[in-house]
Structure 1
Amino acid sequence: MTIPSPAEIQAIVREGVPLAGEWGVEVLAAEGGAALIRLPAKPVLLRPGNTLSGPALMGLADVAMWAALLSTTGGRDDSVTSTMTVNFLRPAGSGPVLAEARIVKRGRRMLFGEILIRAEGSEEVATHVTTTWAVIAPGRV
């Protein structure tokens, strides 16, 4: 199996989730069930208080987990989010943010992952996300 490059995974993500393209989501790294993606600053993603909105952060987390998953499947996967638990720990700010996703456990039917989101340039986690995905083999629905 060929491991797709971050640029190839970014293209897959932007095609599969057009909103990721509109937001300018960038896949910086993706390999071995982990991914690092960047959401650039965009005024349309802010909420009152001049910080990134919850929906933007949740969407970013979901896309980050898919990028991590695509890094293990040769860039083809039809799995879907089953659950997502989001803990907003502090404001992420109004600038770019980074999401680090990793697959914690993958079974035949379910996948469990974790995503940490922080403001670019900061080590403090702003949002902690855990997620479960239903594994769907490519070509099967």
Structure 2
Amino acid sequence: MTLTPIMDPEALNRFLETDFPQIHTDGKVFEVTEVGPGTVVMRLAPNERHLRPGGTISGPTMFALADVAAYCAVLAHIGPVALAVTTNLNINFLRRPEPGPLTCACRILKLGKRLAVVEAAIHGADPDDLVAHATATYSIPPR
């Protein structure tokens, strides 16, 4: 399955800023950095709000990163459809990430007319050190 993106990182970041400005309430922490055939990479620059006791990034923050990044992967390939919604997201936390930037690499597993399934891999500074893995399903509204 070869998918051709129709939105680039700039278009996706602009869409998030205009249609979902609430994700930047604490400053611009989410940024799409790459878009490719069937893929999107998003960076999270966490601030104090995203940390939890014990000196690590919180689970809800990593969940949000996986969800927003996977959503962007879908939009990159179907266009700016604000009403595409998450119907399921399953995440496995594999190891404790150090405080600092996280990267979420997403790959579309299925892109149908009504549903999309995306895999999300979250890592810290070392791209080989996976800290969380998620799969997400999105409902795509009829055109």
TM-score band w.r.t. shorter chain: 0.7 to 0.9
Give TM-score scaled by structure 2 length. Answer: 0.86
Query: How many residues are aligned here?
Result: 138
For 1:77 and 1:54, locate their aligned partners in 2 and report how far apart those are by CA, in whole Å.
25
For 1:112 and 1:2, locate their aligned partners in 2 and report how far apart those are by CA, in whole Å.
16
Query: Is the partner of 2:105 in helix, strand or coil?
Result: strand
**Do the aligned partners of 1:104 and 1:112 also contact (CA within 8 Å) in 2?**
yes
User: Which residue is equivalent to 2:85?
Assistant: 80
Match of residue 133, structure 1, among 128, 131, 138: 138
Point out where structure 2 has 5 or more consecutive residues left out of the alignment. Answer: none
Match of residue 34, structure 2, among 29, 33, 36: 29
Point out where structure 1 has 5 or more consecutive residues left out of the alignment. Answer: none
Following TM superposition, by how much is the alpha carbon of 1:76 offset from its aligned partner in structure 2, in angstroms?
3.4
Specify whether residues 75 and 31 from structure 1 end up closer, same or farther in structure 2 by C-alpha distance, changes over 3 A only.
Answer: farther
AA aligned to 1:115 is A
Following TM superposition, by how much is the alpha carbon of 1:7 offset from its aligned partner in structure 2, in angstroms?
1.3
User: Which residue is equivalent to 1:17?
Assistant: 20
For 2:45 and 2:63, locate their aligned partners in 1 and report how far apart those are by CA, in whole Å.
15
Deviates more, 1:116-125 or 1:94-103: 116-125
For 1:9 and 1:91, locate their aligned partners in 2 and report how far apart those are by CA, in whole Å.
29
Following TM superposition, by how much is the alpha carbon of 1:2 offset from its aligned partner in structure 2, in angstroms?
8.5
Aligned-CA RMSD value: 2.0
Query: Is the partner of 1:44 in helix, strand or coil?
Result: helix
Match of residue 53, structure 1, among 53, 58, 78: 58
**Do the aligned partners of 1:20 and 1:63 also contact (CA within 8 Å) in 2?**
no
Deviations 1:12-46 (A, max 9, x none): 12333334323521110123331001001311100
